[in-house]
Structure 1
Amino acid sequence: MTSTALLVIDAQQSFYHRGYQETAETPAFEQQIRKLIAGCQRRKIPVIDVFHLEEDGPFSLASGLVKRLPFLDHHATLRVQKKVHNALTDSGLAAWLQEHQIKNLIVSGLRTEQCCETTARVASDLGYHVTFVTEATLTFPITHNGITLDIADLRHRTESVLINRFATIATVEQCLHALA
């Protein structure tokens, strides 16, 4: 039995309505997250799909878009739904992890600085060892008060606030090597 699980957070078609196809980083993200999932599956690491839900719009169940992005074809060990920004507090996932004696979480998915980072922080606070695989996460530029943070800025910021506090930062290769 493994004590590690991979979380694939919010990698759902709902994001087609929130800028998913507008980033030059998309092809690299798709390649890296597929590589991470496949590597975890080869090692018998549970892969958990986490989907974000909202009452209305593209993140509602009624939209028909709360399903995996089409380039993902893995078999998920578990599928959970959340209505908050982290994968643990309202999805039933925390109970499943405890029942299966999972102590280590690998974080991947969408958006780097939002649901992925928030999940890493909450998981760390709950006592999990978290590996944050930034290249297997994706985000989009954010503009606030006339200042735009690009994808590189957001990734750097997320890694800077997580490293040595809430998570180990790793590439897909580093993560898979550590699991070997």
Structure 2
Amino acid sequence: MSASATAKSALIVIDIQESFRQTPVWSDANLPAFREAVLRLHHGARENGVPVVHVFHVGRAAPFTKESGFVTALDWLPQNADVVFEKHTHNAFSDTGLDLWLRRRGIDHLVISGIRTEQCCETTTRVGSDIGYAVDFVTEATLTFPMTHAGSGRTYSPEEIKMGCELVLAERFARIASVDQVLSSWQKKIRD
């Protein structure tokens, strides 16, 4: 599922919004590395003419309602996206207009980043792959939080959750890519 040399990319930035800071699961523990990875991708996209898409989740309960005032970008996320979509499901495609926007621009390769790794990022990756996009899942540019299994009571770390996502996505739905690999591929397309 990796992108061909002729693929036209877009950076998809999912749910990097204030809503998450208001939830009980929020933790700053992995935020610095995540922020650095996302900012490198964002900057690299801008340098290489790759469109940047921001997607925000709007839900029925605070802090994800529009009325809560928290459906806004985290303060460090650049505000220069080419387009912003709001979603109401776990994936960024259902009833958002994203697919049409991408296809009208001839984009056939997606680079996925955002919050939460195993939820909206993984679901968007699966749907994107199923509807024909080549997808790079940039795990280091995703963020998640510990989760406790309802049956066993075992708590899984963010690292374990990310590893599980990579396991099920790799070569089925996406190429698991590092920030450096994505930036290198964008620069190579500029040179070619």
Is the Cα–Cα contact under 8 Å of residues 37 and 74 in structure 1 kept in the other structure? no
Q: Which residue of 1 aligns with 2:45?
A: 40
CA distance in 1, matches of 2:60, 2:75: 23
Q: Does 2:182 match 1:164?
A: no
CA distance in 2, matches of 1:20, 1:34: 23
Q: Which residue of 1 aligns with 2:88?
A: 83
Q: Secondary structure at the match of 2:67?
A: helix
Computed over aligned residues only, the root mean square deviation of the Cα atoms, in angstroms, reads 1.5
CA distance in 1, matches of 2:93, 2:71: 18
Q: Deviations over 1:102-131 (max 9, x none)?
A: 100000000001000000000000010000
Could you list the runs of 5+ residues in structure 2 that have no partner in the other structure?
Answer: 1-6, 188-192
Q: Does 2:133 match 1:128?
A: yes
Alignment of 1:5-44 (within 5 A): 5-19=10-24, 21-44=26-49
Alignment of 1:98-113 (within 5 A): 98-113=103-118
Q: Secondary structure at the match of 1:59?
A: coil
Q: Which residue of 1 aligns with 2:190?
A: none
Is the Cα–Cα contact under 8 Å of residues 108 and 136 in structure 1 kept in the other structure? yes
Q: Does 2:60 match 1:60?
A: no
CA distance in 2, matches of 1:87, 1:22: 24
CA distance in 1, matches of 2:154, 2:28: 18
Is the Cα–Cα contact under 8 Å of residues 130 and 168 in structure 1 kept in the other structure? yes
CA distance in 2, matches of 1:165, 1:10: 24
Could you list the runs of 5+ residues in structure 1 that have no partner in the other structure?
Answer: none
TM-score by length of 1: 0.96
Identity %: 45
Give how far 1:55 is off.
1.8
Larger Rg: 2
Deviates more, 1:141-150 or 1:162-171: 141-150
Is the Cα–Cα contact under 8 Å of residues 23 and 140 in structure 1 kept in the other structure? no
Between the two proteins, the alignment pairs up a number of residues equal to 180
CA distance in 2, matches of 1:148, 1:99: 43
Give 4+ residue runs of structure 1 displaced > 6 Å after superposition.
none
